[in-house]
């Protein structure tokens, strides 16, 4: 049997990346001459593919590529590093590794950004790999990212429990839905960017409210799957 595998979302789960993302999104709206959404709406951009979020919030579909280009202009100029690891997350990752878990970041953020961000903030040293979307996010879903992470570990989809337990940890509904495609449960975290009740409605197996409780919750769910 393989070691227990834990797939970890990045934005809103391991890192508070809202400042850099929301400021870059606001820049894109201003560049297009479209009114900038309110702060609550801007926060909903954190997590899902940016190519989905712009047309969902007032950007005409034919201008989505223009909006993405303007967003990335600000994001690569510094917004991508305007974030921070949530307090206690490094301790959680160390505890899970000490418990024998394989840890993989699985994020909808383009991998070309996710890897240097994880490198800059020390996440890469605490996990066994970083998997993200292609630069053209519109061609990828969270399920696709999870598929790549599973394949990198030689895991099949749907996941075969006899090969070792697998668990997703995330803060938005697309984490739950993407994991479900592969027969994987998702443990939600409430310190991210989901509106109240989103994770529960999506079918998260449980929701953790405090970072120190995450490692014990992950271990309990993995043990129950053995």
103/182 same-domain check: yes
Residues annotated as part of the active site = 9
Same domain, 119 and 63: no
Of 62, 81, 100, the last residue of a domain is 81
Write down which residue in 38, 58, 81 finishes a domain. Answer: 81
Residue 36 pLDDT exceeds 80: yes
Provide the residue range defining the domain that includes 27: 18-81
pLDDT for position 135: 84
For residue 115, pLDDT over 70 is answered with yes
pLDDT tens-digit map of 134-176? 987 666 899 999 999 999 999 989 988 788 999 999 999 999 9
- What's the pTM? 0.91
Q: Which string of DSSP letters, residue by residue, matches 31-72?
A: HHT-PPPPHHHHHTTSSS-HHHHHHHTT--GGGHHHHHHHHH
Block residue for tokens 């989901």:
194
Does the structure show a pLDDT above 70 at 66? yes
Residues 206 and 95 in one domain: yes
Question: Based on the structure, what is the number of domains in the chain?
Answer: 2
């Amino acid at each position: 049997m393989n070691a227990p595998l834990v797939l970890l979302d990045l934005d809103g789960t391991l890192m508070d990346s809202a400042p850099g993302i929301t400021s870059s999104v606001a820049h894109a709206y201003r560049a297009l001459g479209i009114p900038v959404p309110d702060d609550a709406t801007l926060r909903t951009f954190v997590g899902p593919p940016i190519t989905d979020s712009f047309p969902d919030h007032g950007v005409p579909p034919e201008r989505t590529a223009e909006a993405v280009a303007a967003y990335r202009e600000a994001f690569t100029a510094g917004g991508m590093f305007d974030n921070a690891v949530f307090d206690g997350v490094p301790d959680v990752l160390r505890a899970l590794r000490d418990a024998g878990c394989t840890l993989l970041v699985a994020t909808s953020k383009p991998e070309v950004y996710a890897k240097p961000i994880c490198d800059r903030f020390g996440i890469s040293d605490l996990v066994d790999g970083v998997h993200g979307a292609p630069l053209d996010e519109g061609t990828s879903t969270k399920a696709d990212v999870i598929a790549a992470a599973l394949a990198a570990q030689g895991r099949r989809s749907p996941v075969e429990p006899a090969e070792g337990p697998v668990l997703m940890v995330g803060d938005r509904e697309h984490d739950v839905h993407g994991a479900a495609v592969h027969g994987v449960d998702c443990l939600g975290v409430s310190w991210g960017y989901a509106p109240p009740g989103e994770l529960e409605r999506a079918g998260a197996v449980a929701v953790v409210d405090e970072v120190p409780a995450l490692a014990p919750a992950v271990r309990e769910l993995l043990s129950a799957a053995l």
